[in-house]
A and B are shown apart, each in its own frame.
Chain A
Amino acid sequence: MTQGFIIHNRSMMRFIGLLGLFTLLVTLGSEAMGTGVISTSLVKTLGKTLCLCLIAIAMDVVWGYCGILSLGHFAFFGIGGYAIGMWLMYARTETIVTESLARQVIPPTPAEVTDAIGAQIFGVVGSSDFPVIWSFADSLILQLLMVVLVPGLLALVFGWLAFRSRVTGVYLSILTQAMTLALSLYLFQNDSGLRGNNGLSGLQNIPGFESTPQATISLVFFWGSALALGLGYMLFAFVVGGKMGSIVQGIRDNEARVRFLGYRVEGYKLFVFTLTAVVSGIAGALYYPQAGIINPAEIAPIASIYLAVWVAIGGRGRLYGAVIGAALVSLLSSWFTGGGAPDVNLGFYTVQWTDWWLVLLGVSFVCVTLFAPKGIGGLFDYLIRKPR
Chain B
Amino acid sequence: MLRTLACLLIICAVAKGAAAQTLQPILQTHAAEVADPSRGSVSVVLDDLVASGLPQVPTFLERWSDKGVWQNTADGQFYYGRTDGDDLALTDIDTGTQTTVDRAGYTELRPNGGVRRVIGTALVQFQLSDPDLGRRQSAIDSIARRPDADQLAPLLASIDGEPDSLLRARKIQLANFLSASFAGDPADRIAAIDSLSRDTSIEARAVLNQILTTRDVVATDAPDGNIARILTVGTDITADQAYDRLVAADLAPAAIPSAAVRDALAANITDGRVGGIPTAQLNTEATRAQAYAALADRGLVPPRLTEEGRAAAIAAHVFAEVYTEDDPAITDAARAALSSVETRVAAASFADLTLDAMSLASIYFLAAIGLAITFGVMGVINMAHGEFIMMGAYTGYVVQQFVPDYTVSLILALPLAFAVTFAAGVAMERLVIRHLYHRPLETLLATFGISIALQQLAKNIFGTQARPLTSPSWLDGAWVMSDVIQISYIRIAIFVLALLFLGLILYILKRTRLGLEVRAVTQNPGMAASMGIDPDRINMLTFGLGSGIAGIAGVAIGLYAQVTSEMGANYIVQSFMTVVVGGVGNVWGTLAGASLIGSLQKGIEFLNPSNTLAAQTYMVLFIILFIQFRPKGIVAQKGRAAAD
Contact = CB atoms under 8 A, between A and B. Distances in A.
B269 interface: yes
B297 to A, nearest CB: 19
A369 B453 contact: no
B631 A166 contact: yes
A162 B626 CA distance: 11
Interface in B613-632: 613-614, 616-617, 620-621, 623-625, 627-629, 631
A178 B285 CA distance: 48
Nearest to B630: A165
A106 B262 contact: yes
Q: Give the interface centre of A104, A111, A166, A175 by most chain B CB atoms within 10 Å.
A: A175
A366 B449 contact: yes
Most interface-central of B266, B436, B569, B631 (chain A CB within 10 A): B631
A350 B434 CA distance: 34
Nearest to B384: A362
B1 interface: no
A187 B274 CA distance: 47
B285 A355 contact: no
Given A107-B283, A170-B440, A370 B432 contact: yes
A364 B444 CA distance: 15
A309 B576 contact: no
A302 B452 CA distance: 10
Nearest to A179: B624
Instruction: Give the dominant DSSP class at A's interface.
Output: helix
Interface string B570-587: 000100110010000000
Interface in A36-86: 69
B398 interface: no
Contacts of A111: 285
B283 A182 contact: no
A169 B451 contact: no
B624 A161 contact: yes
A177 B435 CA distance: 25
A141 interface: no
A369 B436 contact: yes
Contacts of A185: 613-614, 616-617, 620
Interface string A171-195: 1011101110110011011010000
Nearest to B579: A174
A251 B283 CA distance: 62
B227 interface: no
A108 B283 contact: yes
A182 B456 contact: no
Given A169-B441, A301-B573, A365 B446 contact: yes
A72 B450 CA distance: 21
Interface in A318-371: 355-359, 361-366, 369-370
A369 B446 CA distance: 6
Contacts, number: 152
Given A359-B460, A361-B452, A189 B611 contact: yes
B421 interface: no
A168 interface: yes
A362 B265 contact: no
A104 B266 CA distance: 9
B445 interface: yes
Given A106-B262, A165-B631, A362 B451 contact: yes
A168 B440 CA distance: 12
Contact of A175 (B442, B454, B624): B624
B324 to A, nearest CB: 34
Interface residues of B, number: 55
Contacts of A358: 452-453, 455-456
Given A188-B613, A365-B445, A369-B436, A171 B453 contact: no
Interface in A279-327: 301-302, 305, 308-309, 312
B623 to A, nearest CB: 6
A133 interface: no
Contacts of A369: 436, 442, 445-446, 449
Contacts of B448: 305, 309, 365
Contacts of B456: 355-359, 362
A105 B265 CA distance: 9
Contacts of B460: 355-356, 359
B441 A106 contact: no
A171 B631 contact: yes
A244 interface: no
Interface string B276-298: 00011011110010000000000
A356 B457 CA distance: 8
Interface string B320-341: 0000000000000000000000
Contact of B288 (A109, A164, A179): A109
Instruction: Give the interface residue-count category, chain A.
Output: 35 or more
A24 interface: no
A283 to B, nearest CB: 22
Nearest to B266: A105
B452 A107 contact: no
Given A169-B644, A365-B446, A107 B280 contact: yes
Given A170-B440, A182-B617, A369-B446, A359 B453 contact: yes
Contacts of B266: 104-106
A165 B460 CA distance: 44
Contacts of A6: none
Interface string B409-447: 000000000000000000000001001100111101110
Interface in A153-168: 158, 161-162, 164-168
B285 A181 contact: no
Nearest to A111: B285
B614 to A, nearest CB: 6
A106 B282 contact: yes
A373 interface: yes
A75 to B, nearest CB: 12
A108 B398 CA distance: 65
A311 B456 CA distance: 22
B510 interface: no
Interface in A118-161: 158, 161
A165 B620 contact: no
Interface in B554-576: 569, 573, 576
Nearest to B381: A170
Contacts of B229: none
A174 B576 contact: yes
Contacts of A305: 445, 448
- Among B262, B265, B448, max chain A CB count under 10 A is at B448
A332 B444 CA distance: 23
A76 to B, nearest CB: 16
Nearest to B577: A178
Contacts of B288: 106, 109
A68 to B, nearest CB: 10
A185 B604 CA distance: 15
Given A106-B265, A182-B620, A359-B460, A165 B441 contact: no
Interface of A: 69, 104-111, 158, 161-162, 164-171, 173-175, 177-179, 181-182, 185-186, 188-189, 191, 301-302, 305, 308-309, 312, 355-359, 361-366, 369-370, 373
8 contacts: A158-B624, A161-B624, A166-B631, A175-B624, A189-B611, A355-B456, A358-B455, A365-B446
Closest 8 pairs between A and B when the two form their complex, measured CB to CB: A362-B453, A365-B449, A358-B456, A182-B620, A107-B283, A369-B446, A362-B452, A366-B449
Given A107-B280, A169-B440, A186-B617, 20 more contacts: A105-B269, A106-B262, A106-B266, A106-B279, A107-B283, A161-B624, A167-B631, A169-B441, A170-B444, A174-B381, A178-B576, A182-B617, A185-B616, A357-B456, A359-B457, A362-B452, A365-B452, A366-B453, A370-B436, A373-B442
